[in-house]
């Protein structure tokens, strides 16, 4: 899977998307913020937030045998919305969007975009 292109494609879906990044084993590897966005978290806080998202998703994988595959997880804060999409057991797509955005519509578009990419061989 071309993660750089995936991040760009997701960012192009809607101007309300603040960042699109791929995280591998809890570390940002691809993507970043939209050129005109100032991050709410400083760099250390962002690193911690990414690690926590990775840990939380790992916990969700435990229940998948009974609940089915995790499609995404979302948190809505006062200032932003953040959605985490698992790409595989160790790789996540993190997307942040404006708090006033239509997250349901954007999530559907992101899921369709992810589906266009071939599976990554493990």
Span 111-122, pLDDT tens digits: 999 999 977 544
Domains and CATH numbers, the chain: 3-115 (3.30.450.30)
The pTM (predicted TM-score) of the whole model is 0.92
pLDDT for 41-96, tens place per residue?
A: 999 999 999 999 999 999 999 899 999 999 999 999 999 999 999 999 899 999 99
Residue with tokens 């995280």: 23
Alpha-carbon torsion 25, 119, 75, 5, what sign? positive
pLDDT reported for residue 122: 41
* Confidence check: pLDDT of 1 > 90: no
């Amino acid at each position: 899977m071309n993660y750089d292109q995936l991040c760009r494609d997701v960012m192009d879906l809607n101007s309300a998307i603040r960042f699109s990044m791929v995280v591998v084993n809890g570390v940002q590897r691809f993507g970043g913020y939209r050129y005109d966005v100032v991050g709410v978290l400083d760099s250390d806080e962002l690193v911690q937030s990414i690690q926590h998202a990775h840990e939380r998703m790992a916990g969700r994988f435990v229940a998948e045998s009974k609940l089915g595959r995790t499609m995404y997880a979302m948190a809505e804060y006062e200032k932003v919305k953040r959605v985490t999409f698992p790409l595989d057991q160790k790789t996540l797509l993190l997307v942040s969007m404006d708090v006033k955005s239509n997250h349901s519509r954007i999530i559907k578009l992101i899921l369709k975009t992810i589906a266009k990419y071939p599976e990554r061989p493990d």
